[in-house]
């Protein structure tokens, strides 16, 4: 007979037969001994099984001791890196590098490192973390250079219950669609839209406390008390206030006057996947006892975003008002930029992911926006009351090209109705992680 490899079945049969044979023949006192050994083996086997199950469970849960570099990036590599580990301190960053070329005044073409932002999030425990962001604008910041360095966010967040969390420190005001999500990868177009820069002064942050409630019906509510604007900063001789009324008087918590505080609230509903409806309201006095009268700044907005399939449709309306501007403007009559009583703007935007392949995606978009940074002025008397500004309308047509989900190349063309010299072509590169 050939020395064939014993098949498992044959081996088992042989063993069983041998076992039965020996069991049948040895009806001796060793029987109980064997029975005891059998029980012992069974118990050990059960223990080993349990251990194995435990180890398997732990292995499924525990991240492998992979080196820090292999901690799963957002687009995981196709090699055998283990499940992502949870780092306590994470560096975040985003950057925008832009090129603008006015079509009617090409001598004003400009290339700029618009923003370079570094931040970190550090998680103290499962419920508490700190979030910070530091921004450098226009590449070089010094007394002779155009750049600025600023702390954009610096707050602590604590989750009290699954529904309620609180933030304290310097945080973004939940207004519009852009302010809280202002990374270059989250908006269409090279430059941020005018409604959310000239009317809502993105990136708008205030210092204070905030409560966030996230409900199971898709509703998120936010509310808080923060620092307010500073109307005594209004410079009637410069054009800053005409470009963005609130942008010229925001304090950014830099030695901010804090006698007057503001309250805000925001409601956002995401109950239906792909749909967002929401609004916000911010109001606070802004003269801090340093002007002849008290004056209140109020800004509210409504926004919606719908992303059915490959479409991305969004719209924002925002309006701001300032009270008692007649008294504040009385001493500034004749200057080019007085404090407006109201200012507002809206836009509609549509984008479509026309082409995608793996991580690449090309999304052309169109945006139509109208805004007026001085919609009305309080009456100061004949010959003294400034005329309301003309409403500007900007149409932006372009495309975002996603290289990876966190890197985007953008190009667009913007047409201005009033200030035609601003018509321009824009190119931009942005990243965010």
Partner 1 sequence: MRLTLAASAFAVSAAAPAGAFAVDYLSIDQAAKLMFPDAETFDTRDVTLDASQLQQLDAQGVKARSAHWSVRVAKRGANTLGFVVFDEVIGKVELISYAVGIATDGSVKQIEILSYRESHGFEVRLPAWRRQFVGKGTGSAIKVGEDIANISGATLSCTHVTDGVRRIVAVVAAARRGGALA
Partner 2 sequence: MSIQRWLGGAVSAMALGVLGACGGGGGDAASSASLPTQQTMSAQAQLGERIFSDPSLSASGRQACASCHVETSGHAPDNDLSVQLGGPLLDQQGKRSAPSINYLSFDTAFFFAPDGTPTGGFFWDGRAASLQDQAAQPLLAANEMANPSKADVVDKLSHAAYAEQFKQVFGADIFSRPDDAFDRLTLALQAYQREDTGFRGFTSKYDEFLRGNVTLSDQEMRGLALFNNPAKGNCQACHPSAKAADGSFPLFTDFSYDNLGVPRNTALMQNNDAGFYDLGLCERTDLPNRPDLCGAFKVPSLRNVAIRHVYFHNGRFKTLKDVVTFYVQRDTNPEKWYPLNPDGSVKKFDDLPVQYHANVNTAEVPYNRQPGDTPALTDAEVDDVIAFLQTLTDGFRR
d(CA 248, CA 233): 8
Sign of CA dihedral 237, 240, 242, 245: negative
Binding site partner of 272, from partner 1, partner 2, none, Cβ cut-off 5-8 A by kind: partner 1
Q: Shortest distance, CB of residue 308 to partner 1, whole angstroms?
A: 7
Q: Under rule CB under 8 A, how many of the chain's residues touch partner 2?
A: 23
Binding site partner of 381, from partner 2, partner 1, none, Cβ cut-off 5-8 A by kind: partner 2
**Burial label, 101 (beta-carbon count in 10 A; 0-12, 13-18, 19+):** middle
Token pair belonging to 388:
């309301």
d(CA 7, CA 433): 57
Judged by CB under 8 A, the residue of 152, 157, 191, 378 near partner 1 is 157
Torsion of CA 128, 272, 355, 114, to 10 degrees: -40
The answer to whether 294 contacts partner 2 (rule: CB under 8 A) is no
The answer to whether 49 contacts partner 1 (rule: CB under 8 A) is no
Is 180:192 a contact under the CB 8 Å cutoff?
no
d(CA 167, CA 210): 5
Which of 269, 257, 197 is CA-nearest to residue 228?
257
Q: Under rule CB under 8 A, how many of the chain's residues touch partner 1?
A: 72
Q: How many residues does the chain have?
A: 433
Identity of the residue, 326 or 361, whose beta carbon is nearer to partner 2 in the bound complex: 326
Binding site partner of 7, from partner 2, partner 1, none, Cβ cut-off 5-8 A by kind: none
Judged by CB under 8 A, the residue of 8, 67, 309, 334 near partner 2 is 334
Identity of the residue, 81 or 335, whose beta carbon is nearer to partner 1 in the bound complex: 81
> Segment contacting partner 1 (CB under 8 A): 68-76, 253-261, 329-337, 365-373?
68-76
Is 389:375 a contact under the CB 8 Å cutoff?
yes
For residue 411, give the H/E element and its range. strand 407-416
Alpha carbons within 13 angstroms on the beta-carbon side of residue 134 total: 5
Binding site partner of 53, from partner 2, partner 1, none, Cβ cut-off 5-8 A by kind: partner 1
Report 366-425 residues binding partner 2 (CB under 8 A): 381, 383-384
The answer to whether 163 contacts partner 2 (rule: CB under 8 A) is no
Token pair belonging to 373:
């940074």
d(CA 166, CA 294): 30
Report 97-156 residues binding partner 1 (CB under 8 A): 120-121, 123, 126-127, 129, 131
The answer to whether 158 contacts partner 2 (rule: CB under 8 A) is no
Report 245-274 residues binding partner 1 (CB under 8 A): 270-274
Judged by CB under 8 A, the residue of 34, 225, 327, 395 near partner 2 is 327
Alpha carbons within 13 angstroms on the beta-carbon side of residue 346 total: 7
The answer to whether 103 contacts partner 2 (rule: CB under 8 A) is no
Q: Shortest distance, CB of residue 383 to partner 2, whole angstroms?
A: 7
Interface residues with partner 2 (CB under 8 A) are: 143-144, 230, 232-233, 235-237, 290-293, 327, 330-336, 381, 383-384
């Amino acid at each position: 007979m050939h020395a064939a490899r014993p098949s498992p079945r044959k081996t088992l049969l042989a063993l069983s037969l041998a076992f039965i044979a020996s069991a049948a023949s040895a009806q001796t006192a060793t029987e109980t001994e064997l029975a005891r050994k059998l029980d012992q083996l069974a118990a050990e086997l059960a223990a080993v099984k349990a251990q194995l199950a435990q180890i398997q469970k732990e292995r499924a849960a525990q991240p492998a001791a992979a080196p820090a570099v292999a901690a799963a990036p957002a687009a995981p590599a196709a090699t055998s890196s283990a499940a992502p580990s949870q780092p306590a301190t994470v560096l975040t960053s985003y950057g925008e590098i832009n090129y603008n070329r006015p079509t009617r005044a090409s001598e004003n073409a400009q290339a700029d490192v618009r923003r370079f932002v570094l931040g970190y999030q550090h998680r103290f425990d499962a419920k508490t973390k700190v979030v910070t962001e530091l921004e450098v604008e226009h590449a070089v910041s010094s007394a002779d250079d155009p750049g600025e360095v600023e702390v954009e966010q610096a707050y602590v967040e604590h989750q009290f219950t699954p529904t309620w969390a609180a933030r304290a420190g310097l945080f973004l005001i939940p207004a519009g669609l852009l302010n809280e999500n202002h990374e270059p990868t989250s908006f269409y177009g090279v430059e941020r839209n005018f409604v959310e820069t000239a009317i809502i002064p993105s990136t708008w942050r205030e210092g204070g406390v905030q409560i966030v409630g996230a409900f199971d019906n898709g509703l998120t509510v936010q509310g808080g008390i923060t620092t307010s604007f500073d109307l005594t900063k209004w410079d009637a001789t410069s054009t800053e206030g005409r470009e963005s009324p609130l942008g010229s008087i925001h304090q950014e918590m830099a030695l901010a006057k804090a006698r007057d505080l503001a309250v805000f609230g925001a409601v956002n509903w995401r109950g239906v996947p792909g749909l967002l409806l929401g609004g916000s309201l911010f109001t606070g006095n802004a003269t801090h006892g340093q002007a002849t009268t008290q004056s209140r700044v109020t800004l509210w907005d409504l926004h919606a975003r719908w992303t059915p399939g490959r479409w991305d449709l969004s719209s924002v309306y925002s309006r701001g008002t300032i009270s008692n501007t007649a008294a504040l403007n009385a001493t500034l009559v004749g200057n080019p930029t007085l404090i407006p009583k109201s200012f507002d703007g809206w836009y509609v935007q549509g984008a479509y992911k026309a082409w995608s392949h793996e991580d690449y995606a090309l999304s052309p978009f169109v945006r139509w926006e109208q805004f007026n940074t001085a919609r009305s002025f309080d009456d100061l008397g004949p010959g003294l009351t400034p005329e309301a500004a003309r409403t500007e309308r900007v149409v932006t047509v372009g495309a975002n090209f996603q290289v990876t989900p966190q890197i985007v190349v953008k190009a667009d063309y913007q047409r201005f109705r009033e200030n035609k010299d601003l018509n321009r072509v824009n190119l931009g590169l942005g990243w965010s992680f």
